[in-house]
Amino acid sequence: MNGMVTRISGATVCVDLADLKIGDRVFVGISRLTGEVVRLEGRIATVQVFEDNRGLGIGEPVTTAQGPLTVRLGPGLLGGVFDGLQRPLHKLQEDGGDFISSGQDPFPLDCSRSWDFSTECTVGAALKTGAPFGKVREGHIDHLLLSTRDGTLAQMNTGKLQLENPAAHFEDGQPLLGWHSWPVRKARPVRRKLPPVTPLVTGQRCLDFLFPMLKGGVSIVPGGFGTGKTVLEQTIAKFADVDVVVYVGCGERGNEMAGLLDEFSELQDPRSDRPLMERTIIVANTSNMPVAARESSIFTAVTMAEYYRDMGLNVLFLADSLSRWAEALREISAALEEMPGEDGYPTYLGSRLSGFIERAGVVETLSGASGSLSMILAVSPPGADFAEPVTQACLRVAGALYMLDTQLAHRRHFPAINWTHSYSLYSDTAMAHFTEQHGEWARLQSRCRDILQREEALREVAEVVGMEGLQDADRLMMRTAEKIRLDFLCQNSFTDDAYATPKNTLEQIKTLIAEHEQINTGLKEGALLDDLLMEDANASG
Ligand SMILES: Nc1ncnc2c1ncn2[C@@H]1O[C@H](COP(=O)(O)OP(=O)(O)OP(=O)(O)O)[C@@H](O)[C@H]1O
Ligand SMILES: [Mg+2]
């Protein structure tokens, strides 16, 4: 059925087309720009256009896709680089050159590629929705193909599988393909959610040791301009101990995204020794791409993340940054003349955000496997004001806060994670796990926190009386705290030190604290700090 454009106001377009539903995807104008229905009044629908709509005119035709905005899910997503509408960027470049032209809709999966398909299902087997009916090898993982409906298999293919050909047929003659579509705004179903219990090792000493993350957990990384959000997110994307990483560059600089792509295509995954890109999906919606698609980009990405989680894998979702996403939401809401809430953000900012963040978690999948989707989300509060609505809305649902500190960043202490204001609600669970594996974790962590806290208090005293005015025990405390900060908490992402295993992390802090305690014992026995330090320096060499 055809309709037509009746009004255009920026990226918001009114169309006259019957039988639309909220959330339906429509193709607007002669160039068939993708849009989503966001408001309905009689036959007139307000459509948010996701692409650059310059040149669109009144009276141009509109057609409906008769369903919501979807992503296509199947083998071949890993290693892919997509825009916010899941259009593969390399195909867009092949077809239209370096600059994305509007109205293109290439298929995101490679239909010409042959996959080695193997299955244990036989003809006559009864399949349930979400049950695996076979697998293909994709990079380092076994990519399970999951049934999209209940039914009895009447015919089964094995060997080479191309995505355009059915892998099997049901008794009613319906084909079972190796890919399927899923609406981006609908969370994929699971049997039940489980509490997160396993640590997610990021390789960042400060995080793993002081503020550990769990697989299936959510943490947010708010930080002012230049505090290291992007570098931290990208470093975690490289080293986190997960099976799949989905990285969304949301409204950030295009050159950073290009840098990430170059780097990732050269680097090896430290665990599997395979190219890092093989476990990574990138969704790029940089600052120079249309704003509305930025709003959908995190949903596109999280749906792909859920798809891999449903295979029983551990998936990490990274977004840089949610503030740019919220700004896109604000821009769209303003164009719709909705009542603004705090700071001009729509009143539904909090519920939209929590709806999205709730898609994280450990789950029992429909086939009974256990998979996890973890999220580490950067937030860039304007003026580093953490009281602003986006940071606050994220905080309500996140389990860990990694607060980046402008002053630490100015001192070039990276990662600039403020150890006083950051927290992790997952700490106890992760610590129990680490203590079981490596011993002593809990004692060392609380000792380390003590020393850092004592330093804060002592620094104020030292400002008044000078370092020389402090007692030897306090001077030692200051010295150890400085060592912890500079040698342990600082971790340069551009050197070999960028990644630390939990074992190394523990050994390093253990050595620092043991040295502190040894000198402290000497002090208690009446020796002088300077003598003890001299002895220590001579002993080490
Ligand atoms: N872990 C790190 N190791 C070494 N250098 C770092 C680290 N983190 C940040 N930096 C330095 O800080 C600079 C700014 O970092 P980054 O671009 O990640 O900040 P940002 O918070 O993303 O900034 P913006 O708000 O502009 O997006 C980097 O170019 C790098 O020089
Ligand atoms: Mg950045």
Q: What is the pLDDT of residues 30-45, one digit of tens each?
A: 989 999 999 999 889 9
498 CA to middle of ligand 2, Å?
18
Looking at residues 428-435, what average pLDDT do you find? 93
SS (H, E, C) 214-232: ECCCEEEEECCCCCCHHHH
Minimum CA distance residue for ligand 1 atom 23? 226
Of 30 and 273, more confident:
30
**In 3D, which of 69, 92, 269 has the Cα closest to residue 184?**
69
Report which residue type is found at 161. L
Buried b (16+ CB within 10 A) or exposed e, 87-115: bbbebbeeeeeeebebbbeeebbbeeeeb
The vertex-515 CA angle with 512 and 520, nearest 5°, equals 125
Query: Which pLDDT value is given to residue 193?
Result: 96
- Cα dist from 403 to 21, 322, 378, 391, 509, whole Å: 41, 15, 10, 10, 22
Query: Which pLDDT value is given to residue 100?
Result: 60
- Output the pTM of the full model: 0.94
Looking at residues 468-482, what average pLDDT do you find? 90
Contact 219, 377 (CB under 8 A): yes
473 CA to middle of ligand 2, Å?
41
Rg (CA), the chain: 27
For the CA of 497, the nearest ligand: 1
Minimum CA distance residue for ligand 1 atom 9? 228
Query: Which pLDDT value is given to residue 183?
Result: 95
SS (H, E, C) 75-140: CCCCCCEECCCCCEHHHHHHHHCCCCCCCCCCCCCCCCCEEEEECCCCCCCEECCCCEEEEEEECC
Tell me, using a 6 A CB cutoff, whether residue 368 lines ligand 1. no
pLDDT tier, 541 (very low <50, low <70, confident <90, very high otherwise): low
What is the Cα–Cα distance from 229 to 417, expressed in whole angstroms?
10
What is the Cα–Cα distance from 495 to 527, expressed in whole angstroms?
39
Residue 97, pLDDT above cutoff 70: no
Contact 130, 189 (CB under 8 A): yes
Q: What is the pLDDT of residues 68-77, one digit of tens each?
A: 999 999 999 9
227 CA to middle of ligand 2, Å?
8
Per-residue tokens: 33: 């720009």
Residues with CB in 5 Å of ion ligand 2: 229-230
Query: Which pLDDT value is given to residue 528?
Result: 83
Minimum CA distance residue for ligand 1 atom 25? 225
Query: Which pLDDT value is given to residue 273?
Result: 80
Tell me, using a 6 A CB cutoff, whether residue 415 lines ligand 1. yes
Q: What is the pLDDT of residues 484-526, one digit of tens each?
A: 999 999 999 999 999 999 999 999 999 999 999 999 999 888 8
The vertex-16 CA angle with 15 and 17, nearest 5°, equals 105
Query: Which pLDDT value is given to residue 102?
Result: 62
Tell me, using a 6 A CB cutoff, whether residue 223 lines ligand 1. yes
252 CA to middle of ligand 2, Å?
6
pLDDT tier, 275 (very low <50, low <70, confident <90, very high otherwise): confident
Q: What is the pLDDT of residues 127-159, one digit of tens each?
A: 999 999 999 999 889 999 999 999 999 988 888
Tell me, using a 6 A CB cutoff, whether residue 492 lines ligand 1. yes
Residue 237, pLDDT above cutoff 90: yes
Tell me, using a 6 A CB cutoff, whether residue 381 lines ligand 1. no
Ligand 1 nearest-atom number relative to CA 253: 27
Query: Which pLDDT value is given to residue 321?
Result: 86
Ligand 1 nearest-atom number relative to CA 492: 3
Query: Which pLDDT value is given to residue 251?
Result: 80
pLDDT tier, 103 (very low <50, low <70, confident <90, very high otherwise): low
Looking at residues 197-219, what average pLDDT do you find? 96
Q: Of 39-48, 115-124, 290-299, 310-319, which range is least confident?
A: 290-299
Tell me, using a 6 A CB cutoff, whether residue 86 lines ligand 1. no
Helix, strand or coil, per DSSP, at residue 462: helix
Residue 1, pLDDT above cutoff 70: no
103 CA to middle of ligand 2, Å?
29
Report which residue type is found at 16. D
pLDDT tier, 344 (very low <50, low <70, confident <90, very high otherwise): very high
Q: What is the pLDDT of residues 353-383, one digit of tens each?
A: 999 999 999 999 999 999 999 999 999 999 8
Looking at residues 11-31, what average pLDDT do you find? 92
Query: Which pLDDT value is given to residue 2?
Result: 82
Per-residue tokens: 56: 């669109």
Minimum CA distance residue for ligand 1 atom 31? 228
Query: What mean pLDDT is reported for the chain?
Result: 90
235 CA to middle of ligand 1, Å?
11
Q: Of 118-127, 199-208, 391-400, 506-515, which range is least confident?
A: 118-127
Of 257 and 117, more confident:
117
Q: How many CA atoms lie within 13 A of 89 on its CB side?
A: 18
The vertex-453 CA angle with 451 and 459, nearest 5°, equals 95
Tell me, using a 6 A CB cutoff, whether residue 227 lines ligand 1. yes
Report which residue type is found at 452. L
Phi, psi of 7, rounded to the nearest 5 degrees: -155, 140
For the chain, percent of residues with pLDDT exceeding 70:
97
Tell me, using a 6 A CB cutoff, whether residue 230 lines ligand 1. yes
249 CA to middle of ligand 2, Å?
9
Looking at residues 100-122, what average pLDDT do you find? 83
Minimum CA distance residue for ligand 1 atom 7? 414
Report which residue type is found at 178. G
The residues pairing with 25 across neighbouring beta strands, listed in sequence order, are 36
Query: Which pLDDT value is given to residue 101?
Result: 61
Phi, psi of 241, rounded to the nearest 5 degrees: -85, 70
Q: Of 59-63, 95-99, 473-477, which range is least confident?
A: 95-99
**DSSP structure string for 237-263:** HHH-S-SEEEEEEES--HHHHHHHHHH
320 CA to middle of ligand 2, Å?
7
Q: What is the pLDDT of residues 454-469, one digit of tens each?
A: 998 898 888 888 878 8
Residue 269, pLDDT above cutoff 90: no
